[in-house]
């Protein structure tokens, strides 16, 4: 049994190391998840600003048409 217990000791420290690495990986994944939500919020602002610019440019085109037909 001594041999099996030695092997257990090696396997156990491997399991502990894997558990720690996995916990660190999960934390990284959690941070990436939060970063993704921040990007989604930034993208909503981009969509709003781009649509606002499109409206302004379209309105300016109408002013041009009025000025050119004047």
**Which residues here bind its own copies, judged by CB under 8 A?**
1, 3-5, 7-8, 11-12, 14-15, 18-19, 21-22, 25-26, 28-29, 32-33, 35-36, 39-40, 42-43, 46, 49-50, 53-54, 56-57, 60-61, 63-64, 67-68
Largest CA distance in the chain: 102
Please tell me the distance from the alpha carbon of residue 29 to that of residue 43, in angstroms, as a whole number.
Answer: 21
Nearest approach, Cβ of 57 to its own copies (angstroms)?
Answer: 5
Nearest approach, Cβ of 42 to its own copies (angstroms)?
Answer: 6
Cα–Cα distances in angstroms (integers) from residue 53 to residues 16, 46, 50, in the given order? 56, 10, 5
Please tell me the distance from the alpha carbon of residue 16 to that of residue 1, in angstroms, as a whole number.
Answer: 22
Nearest approach, Cβ of 59 to its own copies (angstroms)?
Answer: 9
């Amino acid at each position: 049994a001594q041999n099996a217990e030695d092997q257990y000791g090696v396997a156990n420290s491997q399991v502990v190391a894997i558990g720690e690495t996995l916990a660190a990986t999960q934390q990284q994944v959690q941070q990436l998840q939060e970063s993704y939500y921040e990007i989604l919020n930034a993208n909503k602002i981009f969509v709003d600003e781009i649509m606002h610019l499109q409206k302004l440019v379209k309105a300016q085109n109408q002013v041009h048409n009025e000025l050119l037909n004047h």
